A and B are shown apart, each in its own frame.
Chain A
């Protein structure tokens, strides 16, 4: 599938606890892109994902994907999960314990027609559309290719009980991708892994989705994961979809205070690594260069998000003197919002940036809308989150 699919969803579902889902979502899912369903625990992200998968019946509403009606309660239309051609990966690896890794991965491929569809048609020397998507050369077995990319090619004869958590989750991912699904649904698939395994798997998932051109929906409550994996994000709070948009837009400009609280109050600036020297990485945010102290070196041209907490931004009205602060940005005040003794000062310094200062400081500095200031940010106060997006 090389075209952008659209997902339209408007569902309600009540639970005995009194919690209700009342979500509507209308998004485009380009090939290889990831939509993140982000929100606090218990917000209903997983339930919405299960409704999309067809494992949960909404009480009312409709779900449409790529021109197909998957669910329309009023018209009594229901497409069972078997017919939706989705891939599903749970939080914990749910492999079939009585089957080997090889049989697990190929579980969804049964009929000869299935195998042909996945392999790009019988006897085609150049490969069909699905054969081409795997890259150059004659059409290799795409399942074997997936296994190789996930590093589980040598595990074929093992049983799930003999796998580590990371390996098992990779097998679960290969199993979900093997029948060439139109949409991959990931329900916090990295949550049960240790940190290094999680980082590696995130990167591999990104690469796999790109090579297979499969769009994905990822449920997570982990902000770093949402930034690292997502192209677009839908913020879900209390069973409702509160904001949808590009990751950097939503994280930098949350729609209201409740959304901001769930996202964390931080500026999230799309940036690109320029270079590094002596433990300090230089990144470009638009035309502005920021110095960031990071332990991990990063290759130039890596795409990152530079995250800055508003309380770490200090404001000076005179030209900066000699200080330990690495970043001095010329800016002017765009707006000032009061919240008790704290003022939130929104600046324009080439990009939008918030600073939290006390009202007293604001009065002493004589800040009003339009005042030119210098925003200072310590290099240690900026942290970088790499985006596993191969797109330039």
Chain B
């Protein structure tokens, strides 16, 4: 079976089926599909769970008594979050951000469905590999794959060295 990347069709503003989409299209002037913004929103929604989990685990591991100490010193819950919880959760935050970034980097299905394959707008690395394979340009596909592999490797190496470094380690 051959998957054909859809091409951005011309549609009138009233063609969007959902009221939310219609409102967005009226304000911005165009809909979300096959735009960079649409691709961004879809990717965020799709990869969020990979960030939420490490964030939540790390936030929950902050000693409750530190929060109480902060409140008793007159600092509001929101300020306490900024001045105590976030700094002590740095490791989890970095892990979550990098994991979701790496996940998005390799994402294919969502990108193709929402973003399509518009060079310079929504063509991601994985789509570009898929495109090259489709046009039987195996050399280009291999080169891009290698690039993706190297980038992924660097990101992971960076994450793990960050996690080990002193400045991110909460001094407990």
Within 8 A of B (CB), among A165-198: 172, 175-176, 179, 185
The reply to whether A160 and B75 form a contact with Cβ atoms under 8 Å apart is: no
A80 at the interface (CB under 8 A from B): yes
> Would A96 and B75 count as touching, CB distance under 8 A?
no
Whether, in the assembled complex, A98 has its beta carbon less than 8 Å from a beta carbon of chain B, the answer is yes
Contact A55 B171 (CB under 8 A): no
B44: Cβ under 8 A from any A Cβ? no
Give the chain A neighbours of B83 by CB distance below 8 A. 107
B65, B71, B73: which has the most chain A beta carbons within 10 Å? Answer: B73
* A85-B74 in contact (CB<8A): yes
CA of A38 to CA of B30, assembled, Å = 71
A residues near B87, Cβ cutoff 8 Å: 98
B 72-125 contacts with A by CB, 8 A: 72-76, 83-84, 87-88
Q: How many residues of B contact A (CB 8 A)?
A: 19
The reply to whether B69 and A90 contact each other, CB–CB distance below 8 Å, is yes
Bound together, the chains give a CA A90 to CA B65 distance in angstroms of 8
CB proximity of A149 to chain B, nearest CB, Å: 20
Say yes or no for A235: interface residue by CB 8 A criterion: no
Query: Measured between C-beta atoms, what is the minimum distance from B60 to chain A in Å?
Result: 16
* Partner of B68 from A81, A85, A87, A107 at Cβ < 8 Å: A81
Expressed in whole angstroms, the Cα–Cα distance for A353 and B105 within the complex equals: 83
The reply to whether B170 and A98 contact each other, CB–CB distance below 8 Å, is: yes
Bound complex: CA A159 to CA B172 (Å): 10
> Is A30 an interface residue when CB atoms closer than 8 A count as contact?
no
| Given contact pairs A55-B71, A88-B68, A90-B65, A97 touches B171 in the complex (Cβ within 8 A) | yes
| Cβ-based interface call for A150 (8 A) | no
Q: How far is the CA of A82 from the CA of B171 in the complex (A)?
A: 26
Report B-chain residues with C-beta under 8 Å of the C-beta of A175.
69, 73
Is residue B70 within 8 Å, beta carbon to beta carbon, of the partner chain?
Answer: yes
B57 smallest CB distance to A (angstroms)? 18
A108 touches B88 (CB 8 A): no
Check if A98 sits within 8 Å of B71, measured CB to CB. no
Name which of B69, B87, B171 has the most chain A CB atoms within 10 A of its CB. B69
How distant is the Cα of A30 from the Cα of B118 in the complex, in angstroms? Answer: 76
Contact of A88 among B63, B69, B170 (CB under 8 A): B69
Expressed in whole angstroms, the minimum distance between the Cβ of B152 and any Cβ of chain A is: 31
Specify which chain A residues have a CB less than 8 angstroms from the CB of B170 in the assembled complex.
Answer: 97-98
Knowing A97-B171, A98-B87, A98-B170, the reply to whether A53 touches B72 (Cβ < 8 A) is yes
- Cα of A97 to Cα of B87 in the assembled complex, Å: 10
Knowing A55-B68, A90-B69, the reply to whether A96 touches B84 (Cβ < 8 A) is: yes
* Any A CB within 8 A of the CB of B66: yes
Query: Which chain A residue lies CB-closest to B88?
Result: A98
The residue that A94 contacts in the complex, of B66, B74, B75, B88, with Cβ under 8 A, is B66
Bound complex: CA A107 to CA B65 (Å) = 15
Interface pair A107/B75, CB less than 8 Å apart: yes
Please state if A107 and B73 are interface contacts (CB–CB under 8 Å): yes
A174 to chain B, nearest CB (A): 12
Does B75 lie within 8 Å of A110, measured CB to CB? yes
Chain B residues lying within 8 Å of A172, measured Cβ to Cβ, are 69
A159 to B72, CA, bound (A): 21
CA distance A80 to B73 in the complex (A): 11
**Would A81 and B171 be within 8 Å (CB), given that A96-B66, A97-B88 are in contact?**
no
Tell whether, in the assembled complex, residue A82 and residue B84 are in contact, meaning their CB atoms are under 8 Å apart. Answer: no
> Which residues of A are found within 8 Å of B84, using beta-carbon distances?
96, 98
The contact string, 1 if C-beta is below 8 Å from chain A, for chain B 156-171, is: 0000000000000011
Flag if A159 contacts B171 (CB, 8 Å).
Answer: yes
Measured between beta carbons, the chain B residues less than 8 angstroms from A83 are: 74
- Report chain A residues within 8 Å CB of B88: 97-98
Contact with B along A130-168 (1 / 0, CB 8 A): 000000000000000000000000000001110000000
Kindly provide the distance from the CB of A228 to the nearest chain B CB, expressed in whole angstroms: 25
CB neighbours (8 Å) of B76 from chain A are 82
Indicate whether A86 reaches chain B with its CB closer than 8 angstroms: yes
Given contacts A82-B75, A108-B75, contact A94 B63 (CB under 8 A): yes
- Please encode chain A, from 323 to 334, with 1 for each CB lying within 8 Å of some chain B CB and 0 for all others: 000000000000
Interface residues of B, Cβ cutoff 8 Å to A:
63, 65-66, 68-76, 83-84, 87-88, 170-172
19 contacts between A and B (CB under 8 A): A54-B71, A55-B68, A55-B72, A81-B72, A85-B74, A88-B72, A92-B65, A94-B63, A96-B66, A97-B88, A97-B170, A98-B84, A98-B170, A107-B73, A108-B73, A159-B171, A161-B171, A172-B69, A175-B69
Q: Which residues of A contact B (CB under 8 A)?
A: 53-55, 80-88, 90, 92, 94, 96-98, 107-108, 110, 159-161, 172, 175-176, 179, 185
